[in-house]
Structure 1
Amino acid sequence: MARRKTLITGAAGGMGRACARLFGNTSDLVLADVAAPSLERFTEELRGDGFTVIGAHAGDLGDAALLAALTADLAGTEGFNVVHTAGLSPALAGARPIMEVNLIATVKLLDALEPILRAGTAAVMIASSAGHLMPHIPATLALLDAPLAADFLDNIRAVYEKMGDGSDYSNAGISYSLSKLAVHRLAETRALTWGPRGARITTISPGMILTPMGRKEVATPGGKAMQDAAPIGRPGVAADIAMAAHFLCSDAASFITGCDLKVDGGSIAAFRHRAAPASGA
């Protein structure tokens, strides 16, 4: 019997590894990551453990040749899964590469997938709770909705410099939050065109997750505040995200599309309601 195919981007990272191992129990895997040595080692590890990896591709998701290789591996007549975990956080990069990887490359990936969409396809993009903390300013949203425009990076830079305090880290943090807000909106807009083709697309907004990248963020004041805010009383782990993604790709979620699932231990709820004035105040 033909098995379903699942593409995992950022496969050598913490969330990507957890997703690959969970989805690989029932799917043939297509893996992508920017770090070639790590991807090669992880692919060998998976194959040694009995998982089927039909393709492992190292490179930048904004590269047309890489996208062509990924879509070729997903070719067939059945629907497939996509779990897009690749991304950069403020502790790893500056404002410009964050926007290039988190938003521009994501749009290019979705554009590459659209010609091969089939009924039953389900895509989950990893966004962030940080996207829920950004104000919805119409002019900014209009920019975020057109990230492939020639002047996008210059125009969006003006936005986060105006909102930040001028420091590199502050700009990177705002760029990160804006990029993830844009990913939330991508799920909403793409759902309108994917739905009639029998395909679904959603996002997951993690809170503070103890992956290698997440641990770097916990070392910053903002990351520590996000972790401490979670009323559930513990940080998240990569398996929390993998299980949520697995549900969203399953038949149990067949009526769910165009929306975001917070997997944040309640941190966004805590930020919003603890900061709100008491009723009658």
Structure 2
Amino acid sequence: MAQAARRKVLVTGAAGGMGRACARLFGATHDLVLTDVVATALDGFAEELKRDGYTVAASLAGDLSDDEVLAALVSEVSGDAPFTLLHTAGLSPALADWRAIMSVNLIATEKLLNAIEPVLVPGSVGIVIASVAGHMMAAVPEIDALMKDPLAPAFLDLIQPFVEQMGPMAGGTSGISYTMSKRATLAICERRAGAWGQRGARIVSISPGMILTPMGRQEMEKTAGAAQMADMAPAGRAGVATDIAAAAWFLASDQASYITGCDLKVDGGATAFVKSMMGG
């Protein structure tokens, strides 16, 4: 009996905690296209998936700021069939300096979406991992205006004065860079919804709270206030990677066909609780 063609799902940051959980959930019904900047971790995970019976259509290590890497990934999902993009790649404050965080979380995200957009077909879905940190920052018109064009010449130099000015109030320059980059990510998904809709596609973001991935655990150990965010969640626990994968599964499904251009907080209610305590 002939089998129906399976859709493809492109998972960035596939060797990380959220990426792994998404790949395993979606891989039950989708062919996997995996990418991560760490080649050894990606190769090991791809082989693990193959041994477990998953179909890995492609596994490509590289930097998402590299045009050749982006072109290779786009070619893997291009065609007449709809596909899903799960963009989980990112850096948190404990892992890098502010420039690297902004480059990975914002600039590379913009480049990835620019590369993907021309090959969208009806039914395609993009799911971008943001963060509840993006919801904690008040609007600053000058910053928001700059963040709309992260591919502008000398963007990092233009944003640097704001990072340095606000850094001491936000746990350091890495912390404010993370918050700013994730706030901008939320806005990117809102702005692109119209263009994606014209192609019959949807784009949404997910804002995780404290998630017990390797990256999340480092934040809880090294970043002031991170562990407290998990403790504040009305759900009574920190999140796990499968919480994010399950949310992404729903958002990619036909049941979510009327959901686009918006964000879903998966934080156990922590953001709502913090804002209520602050009188928001």
TM-score normalised by length of structure 2: 0.97
Cα deviation, residue 195, structure 1: 0.5
1:76 to 73, 76, 79: 79
2:263 and 2:118 map into 1 onto residues whose CA distance is 24
2:106 to 103, 106, 109: 103
Higher mean C-alpha displacement, 221-230 vs 259-268: 221-230
In the alignment, does 2:199 pair up with 1:197? yes
Question: What do the CA deviations read for 1:54-77 (whole angstroms, capped 9, x no partner)?
Answer: 100101000011111101110221
**TM-score in terms of structure 1 length:** 0.96
Match of 1:227 in 2: 230
What is the Cα-based RMSD across aligned positions, in Å? 1.2
Cross-structure match for 1:121: 124
Match among 50, 53, 57 for residue 54 of structure 1: 57
Cα displacement (A) at 1:226:
1.3
Structure 1 segments of 4 or more deviating over 6 A?
none
- What's the CA shift for 1:25? 0.6
Structure-1 separation of matches of 2:167 and 2:14: 32
Q: What's the CA shift for 1:166?
A: 8.4
After alignment, is 98-107 or 135-144 more displaced?
Answer: 135-144
Between stretches 152-161 and 11-20, larger displacement belongs to 152-161
Q: Distance in 1 between matches of 2:168 and 2:256?
A: 42
1:192 shift after superposition: 1.2
What amino acid sits opposite 2:126 in the alignment?
A
Q: What's the counterpart of residue 66 of structure 1?
A: 69
Between the two proteins, what is the percent identity of the paired residues? 58
* Separation in structure 2 between the aligned mates of residue 6 and residue 104 of structure 1, nearest angstrom: 22
1: CA distance between counterparts of 2:229 and 2:261? 25
Matched letter for residue 252 of structure 2: C
Residue 252 of structure 1, aligned match among 251, 255, 272 = 255
Tell me whether 216-225 or 111-120 shows the greater mean CA deviation. 216-225
Instruction: From 206, 209, 227, give the equivalent of 1:207.
Output: 209
The answer for the alignment partner of 1:266 in structure 2 is 269
In structure 2, what is the equivalent of residue 187 of structure 1? Answer: 189
3-state SS, counterpart of residue 124 of structure 1: strand
State yes or no: 1:158 paired with 2:166: no
**CA deviation after TM superposition for structure 1 residue 276, in Å:** 1.1
In the alignment, structure 1 segments of 5+ residues that lack a partner are none
CA distance in 2, matches of 1:242, 1:111: 24
**Aligned residue type for 1:197:** R
